Amino acid sequence: MSPIKAVRGVRDILPAETRRWQRVEAAAHRVFEAYGYREIRVPLFERTELFARGIGDETDIVKKEMYTFDDRSGESLTLRPEATASVLRAYIEHGFHVEPKPVRLYTMGPMFRYERPQAGRYRQFHQANVEALGETHPALDAEVIAMLMDFFGALGLADRLELRVNSIGDAGTRPAYIARLVDYLGPRRAELCGECRARLDRNPLRVLDCKTPGCQPIIEKAPSILDSLSREAARHFDTVRECLEAMGVAHTVDPRLVRGLDYYVRTTFEVLTAELGAQNAVAGGGRYDGLIAQLEGPADPGIGFAIGLERVVLLLGGDERGTGPLAVLIPLGEAALRRLLPAARRARQGGVPVELGYGIRKLPRELERANRLGAAWAVIAGDNELARGLALLRDMRSGEQRAVPLDGLADELIRLRAEGAGPR
């Protein structure tokens, strides 16, 4: 029998990476909270119906990518493929709509989609997800987008990313555009890839999103959705862009940006990178004004986005060693161990990361271990030192040693740390 491995498309986030994850998560908390968003934590699974109704029966997500199972009572449940539907369910269930609008919520955590795994695309992945609910003003759209770019700015990534925006119009006027699109694509059906031929029947807008090279010349000449916007939708989009410009948020208009979920109306946007191959979207979002009502909630509008955190972490690059201990405490024998054990505890209580040997290895082995751990100091206590109530404090870089009283050892380590000493 061979050892059990992680499921395909599902990965461990190893210690060498977790510092970067913490940095990304801290930036999200900091930036979102500065804009007045509050964190909400929603369950990892919901009734299947929520996603079917929320995301759309005809989307790839609902048709092919959900992890759906019956629980022991026969109820159909689904691991969340995204967070928006869950956040809206919670918004309705807990009566958030009576709060001052817009209600601003964010959440972070794993999502699950049965997609073909490749670099930057996984079956369990993580999003930072933001929703602003109950306000239609286009300045909110611009503010949400500006916040997204501020998140990337806080991580020093803004220069490596491109923001694309579009308006896909209102639910009321979109059918007219779709009819024009079908008129254009219908005669060219044979030239489209198999996937696009199927989309043409099921969800023609999605053809615009195809990445197959053969489809590109056809897509490029397709009628632009921006020419079919209602007067209100066009005005909304103009104001979004003016507000973005007023805040100095650089963006490109991309009339083919339609997104893969059915709930969007008016503003849609994505943040793209040229550095991750085919998985070029690091974030995406848009407005979804009919969705809360569709989930049997009040007729409140909403807008939001989600950031793909794996992709952000990939862009940040460079494994980090993680911080090692400031000091390794090396007792040479059982009696010394009993003196160093409480000293280690006191140092740790003072916030100083220390490691402790257990008196079972010889000194050269212990010093080699301290070196490998990257410790700045080793603290050595053998019988001779112990008899005098001392330990030897060894600078791992220079090899210099000095005696310190065992009683004051923890305080000495806390002082060294406060002076700025850190692991190597």
Site residues, ligand HAM (CB under 6 A): 82, 84, 113, 115, 121-122, 125, 127, 129, 131, 260-261, 281-286, 304-306, 308, 310-311
CB of residue 73 to ligand HAM, shortest distance in Å = 28
CB of residue 60 to ligand HAM, shortest distance in Å = 10
Closest CB to ligand HAM among 102 and 285? 285
CB of residue 122 to ligand HAM, shortest distance in Å = 4
CB of residue 42 to ligand HAM, shortest distance in Å = 12
Three-class SS string for the chain? CCCCCCCCCCCCCCHHHHHHHHHHHHHHHHHHHHCCCEECCCCCEEEHHHHHHHHCCCCHHHHHHCEEEECCCCCEEEECCCCHHHHHHHHHHCCHHHCCCCEEEEEEEEEECCCCCECCECCEEEEEEEEEECCCCHHHHHHHHHHHHHHHHHCCCHHHEEEEEEECCCCCCHHHHHHHHHHHHHHHHHHCCHHHHHHHHHCHHHHHHCCCHHHHHHHHCCCCHHHHCCHHHHHHHHHHHHHHHHCCCCCEECCCCCCCCCCCEEEEEEEEECCCCCCCEEEEEEECCCHHHHCCCCCCCEEEEEEEHHHHHHHHCCCCCCCCCCEEEEECCHHHHHHHHHHHHHHHHCCCCEEECCCCCCHHHHHHHHHHHCCCEEEEECHHHHHCCEEEEEECCCCCEEEEEHHHHHHHHHHHHHCCCCCC
Nearest residue to ligand HAM, using CB? 308
Distance of CA 171 to the CA centre of its chain: 30
Closest CB to ligand HAM among 127 and 166? 127
- Alpha-carbon span 104 to 131, nearest angstrom: 6
Q: Is 278 exposed, middle or buried (0-12, 13-18, 19+ CB in 10 A)?
A: exposed
Closest CB to ligand HAM among 118 and 401? 118
CB of residue 396 to ligand HAM, shortest distance in Å = 41
Closest CB to ligand HAM among 113 and 206? 113
Q: How many CA atoms within 13 Å lie on the side-chain side of 15?
A: 4
- Alpha-carbon span 258 to 269, nearest angstrom: 9
CB of residue 286 to ligand HAM, shortest distance in Å = 6
Closest CB to ligand HAM among 260 and 382? 260
Tokens of 400: 């210099």
Closest CB to ligand HAM among 56 and 304? 304
CB of residue 24 to ligand HAM, shortest distance in Å = 12
CB of residue 112 to ligand HAM, shortest distance in Å = 9
Closest CB to ligand HAM among 105 and 326? 105
Closest CB to ligand HAM among 297 and 325? 297
Angle in degrees, 0-180, between the axes of helices 309-316 and 15-34, rounded to the nearest 10: 110
Closest CB to ligand HAM among 107 and 228? 107
Closest CB to ligand HAM among 125 and 151? 125
Report which of 355, 335, 278, 283 is spatially closest to residue 115, judged by C-alpha positions: 278
CB of residue 117 to ligand HAM, shortest distance in Å = 8
CB of residue 202 to ligand HAM, shortest distance in Å = 18
Closest CB to ligand HAM among 261 and 380? 261
- Alpha-carbon span 6 to 345, nearest angstrom: 36
CB of residue 325 to ligand HAM, shortest distance in Å = 34
